[in-house]
Chains A and B, each alone.
Chain A
Amino acid sequence: MNLELPLDRMQRWFQALVVHPGTPDQGAASPEASRELETDQVGGVILPSRTLQPVERVGIYHGMYLLRMRDALLGDYPALEHFLGETNFKKLVRDYVQAHPSRSHTLNRLGDHLPEFIARHAGVPRREFCAELARLERALSEAFDAPERPPLSEAAIAAVPPEAWERARFETLPAFRLLALRYPANAYLQSVRDEDHDHHPKPRLKAEWVAVYRRDYAVYRLELTKPAHDLLADLARGERLGDAIAEALKRPARRRPAQDDLFRWFREWVGGGVFAAVRFD
């Protein structure tokens, strides 16, 4: 018997089956699907083909759904996939999209919650390392897509009167991200990019500080020391340059920068394109 479901009910049923993490038959029998259509009524809604039964036909969409989600997340998290391996990454994708399905018109936003999800998800091996690796890869994607804005030029810096520097406050570019990591995620990412498969860093506690920025539409990672990170974090928060340096110089000797360091870092940050603007109180 042909069964015409109202359009919205048909869509709720169809989607429940397509996004179900199990098999198409399990999807058809799930509470979400069977609330809209009993499993013995499926043949009244979907016709069989010469070769496939109704649920098998819907199963074609079901099979493509997780592949599409995996491909999208693989694009943003290649090093994470490398660390976890194909099977574990596939399981992570399956669990993640159940908790955080796409609600955007673009798949570029699908992985926005993955780092936090991993941090809470007991099923991920070496969870803390993976969460930090995902944070780093997320930062790269954010920097890639951030709005374009010209960096502060060296000429603009050179035009600042020396006596004004103490009162300078910086604004970072939209593509700038600063990370303090407890695990060697950046070293791991680099080893994956270098295809250095014999020397991947172990996922053991070893702090890293990384600035992510974009220049001429290319995304870069800059490894920092802890003192450089702390100073840059203060500047990124909008603290006055004079106050941030004074704070840095008050730190214990092993974390205190030398004056040469300060000049070198500052040149690197301006040259790299970390800052968008400078203003003075």
Chain B
Amino acid sequence: MSNRWGFADLGVGIGLRTVHYGEILGQKPEVDWFEVLSENYMDTGGRPLWILDQVAERYPVVLHGVSLGIGNTDPINLEHLTKLKALAERTRAHWVSDHLCWTGILGRNTHDLLPMPYTEEALRHTVSRVKQVQEFLERPLVLENPSSYVEFAASTLTEWDFLSALAEQADCGLLLDVNNVYVSSFNHGFDPHTYIDNVPADRVVQYHLAGHTHKGTHILDTHSDHALPAVWELYRRSLRRTGLVSTLYEWDEDVPELSVLVAEADKARPIRDAVAAELRATAEVAAG
């Protein structure tokens, strides 16, 4: 199975973070690709952009945003999209992603990934906006399932059904964050396997993996730790459906040394190898 746009499997990557700039440029670590937080580079002409240019020269780059606000009810911010498009061209980004969420209203940006109700109204609204964004960017948008802490009583769809319908109707890609599936499954009491098994596999172009913080009453998606074995198992389960897809390890709080982060990301490699072998064996059996 490969995604319908033919986006390459870039292998195993990590997020580009300020604390690692020196090591990345100086040591050229063995990382397959970097994910870049779009908004950190859209309004600067200083060192961050200079670093990014050099990273983009040496590694494949993917842009990942947090402020697109695809579910916002304010008008789409064309200034933001213009800058995003320019950055994607500058870095030759393989794709551009953001989150299924809203970020603010009445002109405000809370800089959070706020939860959507999974209703028909919200679906129509989001489909329409994804289409507008894709038309402007002249490329498919890739949307990530968020972690969430509330459920709306008015929701008539599960999150995975909403995401699937959105992806089909808007013809967009999906960034499947298996840690977010785990976090939300605890917070809302659903079976994460059901979620993983019902996402349209041919639309998944990227995975996110991360650690989280258990607060007793709920789990926070903090990207502050190693991933739990249960999260790695969800990743393995999903890979069997999607085949090998670009995989990224996120670590944003208490960011460790680069070697620790790379070692954590590298845990994805034997899983990818094992699943690839399984899929090859299955294909050989099917071919007789």
Residues of A within 8 A of B (CB): 2-8, 10-12, 14-15, 18-19, 43-47, 49-52, 54, 56-58, 60-61, 64-65, 68-69, 72, 101-109, 143-148, 174-175, 214, 217-218
- Closest CB in chain B relative to A279 CB, distance in Å: 23
Residue on B with the closest CB to A15? B105
CA distance in complex: A35, B151 (Å): 21
Given contacts A7-B122, A51-B218, A60-B220, A46 and B109 within 8 Å (CB-CB): no
Report the minimum CB–CB distance from A26 to chain B (whole Å).
18
Tell me whether A8 and B105 are in contact in the complex, defined as CB-CB below 8 angstroms, given that A14-B114, A60-B220 are known contacts. yes
Given contacts A18-B114, A146-B45, 20 further A-B contacts (CB under 8 A): A4-B121, A7-B121, A10-B117, A10-B152, A11-B105, A15-B106, A15-B110, A18-B112, A19-B110, A50-B189, A51-B217, A57-B218, A58-B150, A105-B42, A106-B43, A108-B44, A145-B44, A145-B46, A146-B46, A174-B45
By CB atoms of chain A within 10 A, which of B71, B72, B110, B220 has the most?
B110
Which residues of B90-110 have CB atoms within 8 Å of chain A's CB atoms?
Answer: 102, 104-110
- Report whether A46 and B106 are in contact in the complex, using a CB–CB cutoff of 8 Å: no
| Interface pairs (19), CB distance under 8 Å | A7-B71, A8-B105, A11-B72, A11-B114, A15-B110, A19-B110, A49-B187, A49-B189, A50-B189, A57-B149, A61-B112, A61-B114, A64-B112, A68-B111, A102-B108, A105-B39, A108-B44, A143-B46, A217-B50
- When C-beta atoms are compared, the residue in chain B nearest to A102 turns out to be B109
Q: Which chain A positions have C-beta within 8 A of B151?
A: 46-47, 49, 57
Interface residues of chain B, those whose CB is within 8 Å of chain A, are 39-40, 42-47, 49-50, 67, 71-73, 77, 80, 83, 102, 104-112, 114, 117, 119, 121-122, 125, 149-154, 187-189, 216-218, 220
Across the interface, name the chain A residue whose C-beta is closest to B41: A106
- Measured between beta carbons, the chain A residues less than 8 angstroms from B111 are 68-69, 72, 102, 107
Return the 9 tightest CB-CB contacts between A and B, nearest first: A147-B45, A4-B154, A105-B67, A217-B47, A51-B217, A8-B73, A2-B153, A145-B44, A60-B149
Residues in A with CB closer than 8 Å to B73 are 7-8, 11
Chain A residues whose CB sits within 8 angstroms of the CB of B216 once the complex forms: 51
Distance, CA A69 to CA B49, complexed state (A): 23
Q: How far is the CB of B211 from chain A (nearest CB, A)?
A: 17
Q: Which chain B residue lies CB-closest to A175? A: B46
List, in ascending order, chain A residues with CB within 8 A of B83's CB: 105
List, in ascending order, chain A residues with CB within 8 A of B104's CB: 15, 102
Q: Is the CB of A145 within 8 A of B188?
A: no
Bound-complex Cα distance A8 to B157 (A): 19
Distance A102 CA – B114 CA, assembled complex (angstroms): 15
Query: Which B residues touch A109, using CB under 8 A?
Result: 43
A68 to B47, CA, bound (A): 23
B217 touches A52 (CB 8 A): yes
A6 nearest CB across to chain B (Å): 7
